[in-house]
Chain A
Amino acid sequence: MSNNDNHASNADEIIQYVTVVIGGQLFGLPISQVHDVFVPERVTRVPLAAPQVAGVLNLRGRIVTAIDMRKLLHLPDRDEGSQVMAVGIEQKGESYGLVIDSVGEVLRLSSSSQEPNPSNLDKRWAEISGGVHRLDGKLMIILDVARLFSAMVEQPKAAA
């Protein structure tokens, strides 16, 4: 909830969001967190890893751990052969790639139009969502990267 509070306090702050689509739902990542957008290729499967770990791949000499966002959000798997994209982010010095369906435009949104998560939002979604923006005809969920990772790191532990 900390993100929310920050935004609320600066009523007119404009934040740029990179929008991505995962399973038909629009998500937004603060542009400051996004390092690059790439097409994940030659992903090496990591056996025994948590289900949302799509694998590891080589992105310009760096080893990137790819996270399948559909798995993470408990959405159905995408069809075979359908195109995928990945958003590269850094977390505590490590490189991760969030595998998503497609990348949309960059939106400039005022923090004043941000609303908190609806109380009936799926718990697993609420865990990683920093709030909701109402756009024309659709909603954009803000992906809170920090919370996304803390949720993920806890998951394998719980599983183990």
Chain B
Amino acid sequence: MDDLLSEFLTETNESLDVVDVELVKFEQEPNNAKILDNVFRLVHTIKGTCGFLGLPRLEALAHAAETLMGKFRDGAPVTQEAVSLILTSIDRIKEILADLEAAGGAEPEGSDDDLISELERLSLSADTTGEAKAEEAEEASAIDDAVDQSLERPLRPGEVSLDDLERAFREAECEVDLPVAASEEELDHEVEAEAAPVAAAPLAETAKAKAKVKEEPAAKEPTEKKASISSQSIRVAVDTLEDLMTMVSELVLTRNQLLEIVRRHEDSEFKVPLQRLSNVTAELQEGVMKTRMQPIGNAWQKLPRIVRDLSQELEKPIELEMLGADTELDRQVLELIKDPLTHMIRNSADHGLEMPVDRRAVGKSEKGTITLSAYHEGGHIIIEVRDDGRGIDVDRVKAKVLERGLASEAEMEKMTDQQIHKFIFAAGFSTAANVTSVSGRGVGMDVVRNNVELIGGSIDLRSVQGKGSSFIIKIPLTLAIVSALIVEAGGDRFAIPQLSVVELVRVQDNSEPRIERIKDTPVLRLRNKLLPLVQMSYLLGANPNATDTETKSDTGFIVVMQVGSETFGVVVDGVFHTEEIVVKPMSTMLRNLTMFSGNTILGDGAVIMIIDPNGVASAMASHASSVVAEEERKQQEEAVTSALDGQSTVSMLLFRAGSAEPKAVPLSLVTRLEEFDVTKIEQSNGRDLVQYRGSLMPLVYIDPAQTRRSEGTQPMLVFSDAGRSMGLVVDEIVDIVEDRMNIEVGSDRAGVLGSAVIKDKATEVIDLGYFLPQAFEDWFMRKEMDIAALTKKVLLVDDSAFFRNMLTPVLKAAGYDVTACQGAQHAFELLENGNQYQAIVSDIEMPEINGFEFCEALRRDPRFRKMPILALSAVVSPASIERGRQAGFDDYVAKFDRPGLIASLKDLFSGEVGIAA
């Protein structure tokens, strides 16, 4: 019984996995009779076997599920509820089976009445709705009745078998073109046999007979196929295969060793037989590998069900496409990627795909698609999980990275989106806004990555925001034997797994491609891309100074490696050949070395270390970042030393202003030194101005307490840029000195950089950057200014005198001819009086006529339909912006955002110019 039972468990579990998949398919295509037949047959077989083995609980449940499915076959409409219920029943069956296995053959206690009654209820309602096939249904129910009479409620094995027969009988009737009478006759015999006291042997017979009868109508081929397969295949314990594999691995090693020996003895008589041995070994290796190969579809079996459940749970319609399910790979690898794959599918469904509403909003079909594909590529298998969802939100990842302190803002500034995407593989990283039952618990992609790397694979990610993401896993077909490139570095040989080797490049001193250097960092220009390089010997801890002499010669080989999405070159001294190597784990003593993944014995008998590409990549990254950090530190130091500390001296202008202490400014910044007669200084708009070279030059005081002279002349420093000048009023120009500008004491005071010893006196070094904007708001932005803007007339409408006063000079400084008025009414008058303006800037919050109304009124007038009108408001919210847009404003700017106002005006005018041209 034990053997039978274990056989049953294995078979049933396999069938159940298939049922899962088939049912999901069936739900999508309720009219596909073939799928239904498949499902039905599988459940039926399970039920039949249960009855045979005396597992009443299982059998009753399977029976109820089967009955419901029978109704579908009879044409009852398939509801999602029904499919869910059947799936739940199948889950229950699985649970019972698991307990059964654990308990060594005894069915667990418990009742499935809840499910069974549900199933029966649905069956009944299916009956009533399934009137389309009234005839069959009638017959069926008639027989149901008959059976019900012969059944006692607590089901016993014998009775159950009878029930089976009945089912088969009914099926034969409903489905088939076979003469009903004939099958009925047959069945009658069986029923008679069955009626005898229950015994194992006849039971077995009836079970078989029943199976035959049942399957005949459904499909003849499967029965035959089953028979032929069972006679041609045997079950072998996995351990046996593992042992075989180990032995073949050893054989491969020995063969390699022999080949190496023969290679050294040219005319060896061993050559021919060895060649043959070699071929046979290769075939044997392949054969044994094949026994371990399984289609990747085996790892995918549970996925359709998972996706279906997720789809319901998350209320997102999801379609799972699976391509290349027959791609084969080593079962060990297969086992190891099952969980990561499931996790990734969950991730895609939960984070990747948007809600149907959002999808519709961006013009995608409501149904999200997750595509799972697998294919072979050069000794590796590539598995891709792709979704057409929202893609990865770079900003959110950035925010999360900052929050977790994984990188600084400055560091991220320099990163490409792809590099930022990679942060999702960092430990404990999850961008899901909420923790859901599906995902977002913080154990995420890092676990996936670890699992993939554990089997020598790599994971890569491509994502386009709004379009979807795609995870690409590259794993070796098998773990036991890998193809490796043997290289030499620093006098030792190393094996680099071919998986990560993209290409080999030979570099020589005077020919392309060449190793170039950015500072001391070597790079290779390869097909117009810069490839970062690193010396293998350097990575392996050799003294960098020693290798420098070698690098200087710049000849050697570059192994271009790709790990994830990182591509880099590793400079080695020599490249030998590729060899199939058997990866052996390193001893505990060496496990701490991340640079190696294992070691192996080469054909020549020597032990060689196997480079771990992931280790190289991370070493490379840390090496690079340390270089960058070093660079930055140096640069900062240099900046400090050159600009402030300065070995070189700077010409400084010393002057006094406001106080007795000398002040200094670099002479190179000063355009001229001028003295103006104090009478020439005029006051306008609350500030002092002088007429200077045909335009007004604003005067700026360093110290508010500073007073200008009342008579005579006033000295000042003139700073000019692009035709505009500012006068910095000083009391006295003291001297011009050549000295180091070594700021020793920093300053908190605005306008002062700090204090330095200049000419043996403590001197304040002033910050010109602080004063320039005091003269002209836009001093630092003016360069972008359109000269044409200078002639533009702008009408500023604001009820507040304060803002009119504040903004008028700002606009004037930006080169506009500004007319200010205190309300919409006034503005209408100005416009009616024939004043021409190129643009209107209007406040929103105004009494009587507010900005929106003002704008709407203007827009109704054909003359002002195309006039650029800008809204200015203290309140900037999406709603108010939208309101402004509706009113006809071209742009909406916050009142205090003066640069924004200037920029917006500039945009408006350049847009106008664009239309005119």
What residues make up the interface of A, taking CB atoms closer than 8 Å to B?
42, 44-50, 53, 55-58, 61, 63, 65, 67, 91-92, 94-96, 152-153, 156-157, 160
Contacts and interface: CB of A to CB of B under 8 A. Distances in A.
A44 B541 contact: no
A53 B587 CA distance: 11
A78 B160 CA distance: 84
A65 B609 CA distance: 12
Nearest to A53: B589
A50 B589 contact: yes
Nearest to A48: B541
Given A44-B607, A45-B492, A58-B607, A96 B587 contact: yes
A48 B595 contact: yes
B606 A47 contact: no
Given A47-B492, A47-B541, A58-B601, A156 B608 contact: no
A47 B592 contact: no
A58 B586 CA distance: 13
Interface of B: 250, 253, 490, 492-493, 540-542, 584, 586-590, 592-593, 595-596, 599-601, 605-609
B43 to A, nearest CB: 48
B590 A49 contact: yes
A122 B269 CA distance: 60
Contact of B607 (A57, A94, A152): A57
Given A58-B601, A61-B253, A96-B587, A46 B592 contact: no
Contacts of B493: 44
A70 to B, nearest CB: 17
Given A44-B492, A56-B587, 19 more contacts: A42-B605, A44-B493, A44-B609, A46-B590, A46-B593, A47-B595, A47-B609, A48-B593, A49-B593, A56-B586, A57-B607, A58-B607, A61-B253, A63-B600, A63-B607, A94-B587, A95-B587, A153-B588, A156-B589
Contact of B590 (A53, A57, A58, A157): A53
Given A42-B606, A44-B609, A94 B588 contact: yes
Contacts, number: 72
A157 B592 contact: yes
A157 B592 CA distance: 8
Nearest to B489: A47
B515 to A, nearest CB: 22
Q: Indicate the member of B584, B593, B596, B605 with the most A CB atoms within 10 Å.
A: B593
Contacts of A152: 589
A152 B641 CA distance: 48
B606 A58 contact: yes
A46 B606 contact: no
B450 to A, nearest CB: 20
Q: Indicate the member of A58, A94, A157, A160 with the most B CB atoms within 10 Å.
A: A58
B595 A56 contact: no
A50 B606 CA distance: 21
A65 B593 contact: no
B608 A153 contact: no
Contacts of A91: 588
Nearest to B605: A58
Given A47-B492, A49-B593, A56 B607 contact: yes
A117 to B, nearest CB: 25
The 9 closest A-B CB pairs, nearest first, are A47-B540, A65-B587, A94-B587, A56-B607, A44-B607, A48-B541, A58-B607, A58-B601, A156-B592
A48 B589 CA distance: 12
B490 A56 contact: no
A48 B605 CA distance: 23
B803 to A, nearest CB: 65
B329 to A, nearest CB: 27
B268 to A, nearest CB: 22
Contacts of A63: 584, 587, 599-601, 607
Contacts of A49: 589-590, 593
Nearest to B594: A48
Contacts of A46: 590, 593, 596, 609
Contacts of B492: 44-45, 47
Contacts of A58: 601, 605-607
A51 to B, nearest CB: 11
A111 to B, nearest CB: 30
A47 B542 contact: yes
22 contacts: A42-B605, A44-B493, A44-B607, A46-B590, A47-B541, A48-B540, A48-B593, A48-B595, A49-B593, A50-B589, A53-B589, A58-B605, A58-B606, A61-B250, A63-B599, A63-B600, A65-B589, A65-B590, A67-B589, A92-B588, A95-B587, A156-B592
A46 B607 CA distance: 10
Nearest to A59: B607
Contacts of A156: 589, 592
